[in-house]
């Protein structure tokens, strides 16, 4: 059974999370993804002294790995020979960096007019912020994510996960697939660019809607709805932790009221609609908290799920990485961890399923330069002697000082 991108070859020059996850998605879609690193390794490798941090395994599974020094003429020549036989090149260096090296889109499209060149960045290729240095933290700050995270009486707080990196990576992968789809009709390559900053604006639907409606909502609402337009909507404290409860539809609220023994609230004046309950958000939360007093997470969740009320326990990372649902869905793959720490890394699987193909096999991330000879001889037509010469001119173990 084929996968959607079987036969597609991707040169993945991505780094850290945005580039790494984009390449991982493409590999799971069936592409032959070749991870191209400098001889000293991509940036995320520096997060451990041995060069094998769990993050690298986590985001670079199911790829082949080579090293090229793009600061050398031999390294750039090797990249161009690979581009001749590639369908996609993706990178998330600072805007213009690849052009400075002499292997930007304008040059590589001359080498292969059918190439889909994908560039991920913090702020995109144009606009006042285009040259700003950007990482997930700074984009969270600029995009409103931090300002809308936290509690009203507290300071802005970053979201725990690297949301901007991964939202940007997913958009970049969608752009690549779209460009490949169009190429199938036109025969022409394309340039795809995605700025994380742009990708985050759509996520502000609730706080922006509150602003448009001129609703008096604080910028940070803690675990309440970010527009304060739904109640109950919170992470409520119970005997052994917290439980998230939300009532979107009227049937959810009516079921919750029955479970709490507060049938008197159903249809009651001032409580009969979502808008009315949102105006009484403090009262609603107080009623829910009274009912939860003395109950455990398991007790509450089992009771509410039986009543079809949306809820979930607030869980730890340790609980998530051994979650039975994620395991059954093929989202957890325990691959050997070559670095310090636990014996294995729970690498994510493919979150998109296709009825016409089997889930992808998830294999370990490559060691630094593991497939250099294999890829250069197989794809670029190098002789063993040429590979030896190339590796001899670009075998540095640490990045050059800028």
Instruction: Mention every residue, 6+ apart, whose C-beta is less than 8 A from residue 398.
Output: 40
pLDDT tens for each residue of 18-35: 999 999 999 999 999 999
Q: State the residue for tokens 């070559």.
A: 338
- Could you tell me which of 366, 354, 379, 367 has the C-alpha nearest to residue 89? 379
Q: Any catalytic annotation for residue 50?
A: no
Element containing residue 12 per DSSP (H, E): strand 9-12
Provide the pLDDT for residue 131.
94
Select which of 32, 87, 165, 198 is catalytic.
Answer: 165
Quick check: 259 and 251 in contact, CB under 8 A? no
Provide the pLDDT for residue 217.
76
pLDDT tens for each residue of 118-147: 999 999 999 999 999 999 999 999 999 999
Provide the pLDDT for residue 402.
46
pLDDT tens for each residue of 305-346: 999 999 999 999 999 999 999 999 999 999 999 999 999 999
CA–CA dist 208, 237 (Å, integer): 28
Quick check: 189 and 109 in contact, CB under 8 A? yes
pLDDT band at 396 (very low <50, low <70, confident <90, very high): very low
CA–CA dist 117, 2 (Å, integer): 24
Provide the pLDDT for residue 182.
98
Residue 352 has which token pair? 């998109």
Q: What are phi and psi of 262, to 5 degrees?
A: -115, 50
Start-to-end Cα distance in the chain: 48
- Could you tell me which of 246, 89, 309 has the C-alpha nearest to residue 180? 89
- pTM for the whole structure: 0.94
Residue 201 has which token pair? 């604006």
Residue 137 has which token pair? 């933290």
- Could you tell me which of 366, 364, 386, 363 has the C-alpha nearest to residue 376? 386
Quick check: 181 and 106 in contact, CB under 8 A? no
- Is a pLDDT exceeding 70 seen at residue 89? yes
What SS3 state is found at 185?
A: helix
Quick check: 182 and 109 in contact, CB under 8 A? no
pLDDT tens for each residue of 90-107: 999 999 999 999 999 999
pLDDT band at 214 (very low <50, low <70, confident <90, very high): confident
Quick check: 350 and 278 in contact, CB under 8 A? no
Quick check: 66 and 371 in contact, CB under 8 A? yes
pLDDT tens for each residue of 53-87: 999 999 999 999 999 999 999 999 999 999 999 99
- Is a pLDDT exceeding 70 seen at residue 401? no
Say what percent of the chain tops pLDDT 70: 98
Q: State the residue for tokens 């869905």.
A: 329
Average pLDDT over the chain reads 95
- Is a pLDDT exceeding 90 seen at residue 215? no
- Is a pLDDT exceeding 90 seen at residue 249? yes
Provide the pLDDT for residue 369.
95
Alpha helices in 223-316 (DSSP H): 250-259, 274-279, 281-292, 297-306
201: Cα separation from own chain's centroid: 16
DSSP string, 92-156: -SSTTHHHHTT-SHHHHHHH-TT-EEEEEESS-SSSTTTTS---HHHHHHHHTTTTTSS-TTS--
Q: List residues bridging with 116 in a β-sheet.
A: 88, 190
- Could you tell me which of 80, 85, 81 has the C-alpha nearest to residue 9? 85
């Amino acid at each position: 059974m084929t996968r959607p991108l079987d036969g597609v070859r991707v040169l993945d020059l991505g780094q850290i999370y945005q580039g790494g996850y984009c390449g991982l998605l493409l590999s799971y879609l069936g592409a032959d993804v070749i991870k191209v690193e400098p001889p000293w390794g991509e940036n995320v490798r520096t997060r451990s002294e041995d060069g094998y941090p769990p993050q690298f395994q986590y985001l670079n599974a199911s790829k082949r790995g080579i090293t090229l020094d793009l600061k050398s003429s031999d390294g750039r020549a090797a990249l161009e020979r690979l581009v001749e036989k590639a369908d996609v090149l993706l990178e998330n260096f600072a805007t213009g960096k690849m052009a400075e090296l002499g292997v930007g889109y304008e040059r590589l499209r001359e080498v292969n007019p059918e190439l889909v060149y994908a560039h991920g960045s913090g702020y995109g290729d144009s606009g006042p912020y285009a040259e700003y240095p950007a990482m997930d933290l700074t984009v969270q700050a600029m995009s409103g994510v931090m300002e809308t995270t936290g509690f009203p009486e507290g300071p802005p707080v970053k979201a725990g996960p690297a949301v901007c990196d991964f939202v940007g990576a997913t958009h970049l992968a969608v752009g690549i697939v779209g460009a490949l789809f169009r190429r199938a009709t036109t025969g022409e390559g394309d340039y795809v660019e995605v700025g994380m900053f742009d990708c985050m604006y759509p996520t502000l639907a609730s706080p922006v809607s509150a602003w448009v409606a001129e609703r008096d909502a604080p910028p940070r609402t803690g675990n309440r709805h970010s527009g304060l337009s739904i109640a109950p909507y919170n992470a409520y404290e119970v005997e052994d932790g917290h439980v998230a409860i939300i009532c979107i539809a009227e049937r959810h609220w009516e079921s919750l009221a029955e479970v709490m023994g507060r049938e008197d609230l159903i249809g009651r004046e001032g409580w009969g609609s979502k808008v009315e309950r949102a105006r009484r958000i403090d009262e609603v939360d107080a009623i829910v908290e009274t009912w939860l007093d003395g109950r455990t997470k398991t007790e509450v969740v089992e009771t509410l799920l039986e009543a079809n009320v949306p809820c979930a326990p607030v869980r730890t990372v340790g609980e998530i990485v051994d979650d039975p649902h994620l395991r059954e869905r093929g989202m957890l793959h325990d691959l050997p961890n070559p670095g310090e720490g636990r014996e294995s890394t729970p690498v994510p699987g493919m979150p998109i399923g296709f009825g016409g193909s089997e889930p992808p096999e998830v294999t370990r991330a490559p060691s630094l330069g593991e497939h250099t000879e294999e890829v250069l001889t197989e794809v670029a037509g190098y002789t063993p002697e040429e590979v030896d010469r190339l590796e001899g001119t670009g075998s540095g173990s640490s990045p050059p000082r800028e």
